[in-house]
Amino acid sequence: MASTFNAADFAAQMRGFQASDEARQKLFADLLQQYTDLLEDHANLQNDYASERDNRRSYQKKVDLIERQYAHTQRELENNSFVLALIDGDGVIVIINTCSLFQKCNFALIPTQFQDALLHQAAGDGGSEAASRLQHAIRDHVASLYKNSGNWPIMVHMYLSLDKLSQKLASVGLLRHPAELRTFAQSFSINQSLFSIVDVGHGKERADHKIKEMLRTFSDNPTCKHIVFGGCHDAGYLLNLEQYKHDEQKAARITLLESTPALKGFADLTNFPRTRFDGIFRNQSLPDWNPSNPAFAPAPAANNGQYAIRTTTRQNSDSPGPQSASNTPITSSPATTASSLAIQANGSADSSWAQVGKGGVLPDQPISIAKKTNPKKKYAYYNAVGQRLDEVLAPIDQASRQALDARMKKAGKNLCNHWHLNNGKCNNGSACYFQHEPKLTPGELNALRYKTRSLACKNAYCENIDCYLGHQCSFERDQGFCPFPDTCNLRSTHGMDKNKYERWDEQGNQELLTAIRTK
C-alpha cells in the first residue's frame, strides 16, 4: 500500500498548531496581567477609601471641636459684652440737679454738660443722681437698637480738667465753690462701679487725645457692642469718625450724643445713630461769666492797635482771694488819681482830703507819682492743637557765643543748663559734672539758650514754663523752611501749626489769643 504522508502538509499543520499555542499563551498572559492590575487597583482603592474614611472622621471631629469652641466663644462674648461711653468733659455739662460734669464713655461718647439742677446739688447727691440718670438713659437707648442688650454692662469714661472746669462753673454761678465739683465727681464715680471721671489736668487737647485713643482701641473690639460718643462740640473728632462714614455696620455701632447743637461736619455722618439726653445734659452753652460774681470777671481785651486778647484767666481753687485789681484797668479822673498818689508819695497822714483844692491837687506841692515796677510775666504759648511753641530769642551776640565756646573748651566740659537757665537750680548740686561758676553774662546766657533750643524736648505738649529745650524748628518758624530737613533735631516739628492760639502763665491761668487786629 502506497504511503500518502506529505511532509510539507505536516510541517504546515505543525506551524499552525504552534501559532495557536502561542496565541493561547499570549491570551492567558494578557488576562493574567489584567487581573493582576485589577487586584492592585482594588487594593489601592481600598487604601484610599480607608484613608478618606479616616480623614473624614478626623475632619468631623475637628468640625465638632470648632463648633463647640465657637459656641463657647459666642457665650463668652455675650457674657463679656458691654457698652462704652466716651464723654469729652470740656464740652458736656449735666443738667441734673446742677451737677456740671464733662463725661466721656468708651463706645458711648457724650459731649454734653450736666443740667443746672444737678450742678446746684454738687455738694450733695448731684453726682450720684447724674450717674443714675445717665445709666438709665444709655440703657434705654441701647435697648432701642438691640434686642438682647438687657445684661450688657455700661462703662462710662469722662475726661476733663477738674480745676479748669470747676473754675468755669463757679464763674457762671453753677457752683458755689470750685471744690464742689470734686465732690460731684466722687459721688458720680461711686454710684456706678463702671463710671469714672478722669482728671487730665491742665493742657490743651489732653482729653481729646485720650478719647481718640480709646475710640481707636475699642472700635474693633468684639465685646464692645456699642459706643455712645459725646464729642459733637469739637470738630477735632471728625477725622476719627469719618473713616466709618461709609461702613454702615461700624457706623451703626456708634451713637452721636448731642447736647448743644452739633457742629456742621457731624451732620454729614448720616449713617450714625443719634440721640439726646435732655434730662441729663444742658442743651445750651455756658455763658462767659456771671456778672454777679466779679471775682471771675474776665479782664477786658488790651487795645494797643495790634491784637485783641480774649482773656479767660481764672484763679486756682486754692488761691487766697480774687484776682488783683491790677489785672483789670480802672478808669479814674486825673484829679483823684493824682491827689491820691501824691498823698501816698509824701507819706503824710495829715495830707487829708481837706487839703486838696478845687483843682484836685495839694497847694504848692509838686505831684510825684511813684513808678510801680511789675516783674515781667512768663508765659508758655501753644497752637490750636496744644503743641508748645517757642518765643523768638534776642539776636545772638557773636562775641558772647565765642566766649562761651572758649570757656567750655578750656574747661573741657559743658555748662550746666539747669543751673544757668533755671535760676541757679540744679538737682545734682556740688556733685554736678558740668560747669556752674562763674555766672554768665546776659549775652552768654542768650547764646546758651540758642544752644539748648537746638535740642528737642521729648514732650510736644510741654507744660514746663521754664523749659529751655526746643519745641519747634526755629529755621522753619523764622524762614519758612529748614535747610537741614533730614538732620534737624527738631524735624518732627516740621509742618506744625506755628500760629499762637493760647498761652498759660505760671499760675495756670489761660488766655486765648484771638489774633483779631483792632483799629
The 3-state secondary structure of 234-265 reads: CHHHHHHHHCCCCCHHHHCCEEEEECCCCCHH
Helix, strand or coil for residue 218? helix
Q: Closest Cα partner for 389 from 463, 489, 312?
A: 463
Q: What is the pTM of this model?
A: 0.46
8-state DSSP, 488 = -
pLDDT at 425: 79
Contact 207, 89 (CB under 8 A): yes
Q: Which cell numbers in the block locate residue 286?
A: 455756658
pLDDT at 94: 55
Contact 455, 470 (CB under 8 A): yes
Q: Which cell numbers in the block locate residue 187?
A: 459721688
The answer to whether the Cα torsion of 27, 31, 32, 37 is positive or negative is positive
> Beta strand pairing status for 154-160 and 82-88?
parallel
pLDDT digits (tens, 9 = 90+) for 488-499: 999 989 989 889
Q: Which cell numbers in the block locate residue 18?
A: 504552534
pLDDT at 287: 63
Q: Which amino acid is at 156?
A: V
- The residue ranges of the chain whose pLDDT is under 50 are 96-113, 291, 294-370, 515-519
pLDDT at 107: 30
Contact 84, 99 (CB under 8 A): no
pLDDT digits (tens, 9 = 90+) for 131-170: 899 999 999 999 999 988 778 999 999 888 888 888 878 7
The span from the CA of 351 to the CA of 165, in Å, is 48
Quote the strand ranges of 264-303, DSSP E: 274-276
User: Which are the contacts of 138, defined by CB distance < 8 A and separation ≥ 6?
Assistant: 83, 85, 105, 108, 154, 156, 228
The span from the CA of 123 to the CA of 228, in Å, is 28
pLDDT at 323: 36
Q: Which cell numbers in the block locate residue 391?
A: 518765643
pLDDT at 37: 92
pLDDT at 361: 41
Q: Which cell numbers in the block locate residue 505?
A: 502763665
pLDDT at 138: 92
Task: Sketch the domain layout of the chain as residue ranges.
Answer: 82-276, 388-496
pLDDT at 319: 36
The span from the CA of 91 to the CA of 258, in Å, is 11
Q: Which cell numbers in the block locate residue 444?
A: 552768654
CA angle 199, 208, 503 (to 5 degrees): 80
